[in-house]
Copies of this chain bind each other. A is one copy, B any other.
Amino acid sequence: MTYAQWERKTEWPLAGAALGFLGIYAWTVLGQPERTSAALAEHAVQVIWILFIIDYLTRLMLADRRGRWFVYHLHELAIVVLPILRPLRLLRLLTVVSFLQRSVGGALRGRVVTYAITGTTLLIVVASLAMLDAERDASDATITTFPDALWWAVVTVTTVGYGDLSPVTPTGRLIAVGLMVAGIALLGVVTATLASWLVQKVAEQDEANQAATRQQVAELSRQIRALRAELGGEDSSAQYTESNFSTVRNR
Contact = CB atoms under 8 A, between A and B. Distances in A.
A206 to B, nearest CB: 8
A28 interface: no
Contacts of A241: 219, 223
Interface stretch (A36-44, A72-80, A91-99, A104-112): A104-112
A147 B169 CA distance: 10
Contacts of A155: 161, 176, 180
Contacts of A107: 202, 205
A173 B161 contact: no
A227 interface: yes
Interface stretch (A52-60, A82-90, A184-192): A184-192
Q: How many copies does the complex hold?
A: 4
B215 A213 contact: no
A66 interface: no
A47 interface: no
B214 A217 contact: no
Chain A contact residues (Cβ within 8 angstroms of B): what range? 35 or more
A4 interface: no
A201 interface: yes
A33 to B, nearest CB: 26
Best-buried of A107, A196, A201 by chain B (most CB within 10 Å): A196
B245 A202 contact: no
Contact of A108 (B154, B198, B221, B231): B198
A1 interface: no
Interface of A: 107-109, 112, 147, 151, 154-156, 158-164, 166, 170, 173, 176-177, 180-181, 183-203, 205-206, 208-221, 223-228, 230-233, 237, 241, 244-245, 248, 251
26 contacts: A107-B205, A158-B184, A163-B163, A185-B190, A191-B192, A192-B192, A192-B195, A195-B195, A195-B196, A199-B199, A209-B213, A210-B213, A212-B214, A212-B217, A213-B214, A213-B248, A216-B217, A216-B218, A219-B244, A220-B220, A220-B221, A223-B241, A224-B227, A226-B228, A227-B228, A230-B232
Given A195-B195, A219-B248, A223-B224, 7 more contacts: A155-B180, A158-B181, A158-B184, A187-B190, A188-B195, A200-B203, A224-B227
